[in-house]
Structure 1
Amino acid sequence: MPYKEKKIEKLYYAIGEVADMFQVNTSLIRFWEKEFDIIKPKKNKKGNRFFTQVDIDNFHLIFHLVKERGMTLKGAQLKLKENKEDTENNFAVVTRLQEIKNLLLEIKEEL
């Protein structure tokens, strides 16, 4: 039986990695951390922030509301406090529809 390497998933992401994921400055990540109480990174003794996958998922929601839908920070905060579950479900639907659209566009180009 051949040796198979297991895919290693990261538990923590540095602030620079998170900023690169969303193509924003690290200062925006720090600012959103202060503004939204759903983001709670771990900090080491030096004060370096380490974000979990849950934090990344919350960043996706915030990014979607603020950058893609154009909501204000106060509006996004209220939306996440009032009905976070609905917001997550809507975001999942939008993400899935975008994936389907990209797939259909790839198929169209191949024809």
Structure 2
Amino acid sequence: MTNNNPPTTSMDTGEKRYYSVREVADMFNVNISKLRYYEKEFPTLSPKKNRSGDRIYTKAEIDHLREILDLVENRGFKLQGAREFINKKQTAQQESHKLLDRLREIREFMVDLRDKLDQ
């Protein structure tokens, strides 16, 4: 019988690639039901499920959950405020990426222009 579950470790880092919902709950000292609740409240938090239907979290999802828990439990944000904070942060990051892409295009144009003038 072959194992069709995703690999659980990364050969490059020696760090696990996927974490079970139990492992994540233990990391943050919360109940699994709280993790499921935050999945419903924060659409940006959506761990995958393996073939047997168990939630599996990546390092990025764990980091995102850490941010959510910090906002709600440590910094006193209400759920709606935390969602808005995360959405604004993601929007700002997307705008920054667009701006960087545009600046790269302008730089490429300027380099090509300089090369043509040098000829």
Which TM class, normalised by the smaller chain length?
0.5 to 0.7
Question: Residue 17 of structure 2 corresponds to which residue in structure 1?
Answer: 11
CA 85–20 in structure 1, closer or farther in 2 if over 3 Å, else same:
farther
Report the Cα distance in structure 2 between the residues aligned to 1:20 and 1:75, rounded to whole angstroms: 26
Report the Cα distance in structure 2 between the residues aligned to 1:12 and 1:85, rounded to whole angstroms: 27
- Structure 1 gaps, min length 5: 1-5, 87-111
Question: Which shifted more, 46-55 or 35-44?
Answer: 35-44
The one of 58, 63, 80 aligned to 2:86: 80
Q: What number of residue pairs does the alignment pair up?
A: 81
TM-score scaled by length of structure 1: 0.67
The CA RMSD measured in Å over matched residues stands at: 1.7
| 1:34-83 Cα shifts (integer Å, max 9, x gaps) | 11122121112321000000100101100110000111111100110012
Report the Cα distance in structure 1 between the residues aligned to 2:46 and 2:58, rounded to whole angstroms: 9
TM-score scaled by length of structure 2: 0.62
Report the Cα distance in structure 2 between the residues aligned to 1:18 and 1:38, rounded to whole angstroms: 17
Question: Residue 57 of structure 1 corresponds to which residue in structure 2?
Answer: 63
| 1:66-108 Cα shifts (integer Å, max 9, x gaps) | 000111111100110012488xxxxxxxxxxxxxxxxxxxxxx
- Structure 2 gaps, min length 5: 1-11, 93-119
SS at match of 1:64: helix
Report the Cα distance in structure 2 between the residues aligned to 1:10 and 1:85, rounded to whole angstroms: 30
The one of 55, 74, 82 aligned to 1:68: 74
**Max radius of gyration: which structure?**
2
Name the aligned partner's letter for residue 19 of structure 1: A
Q: Does 2:34 match 1:28? A: yes
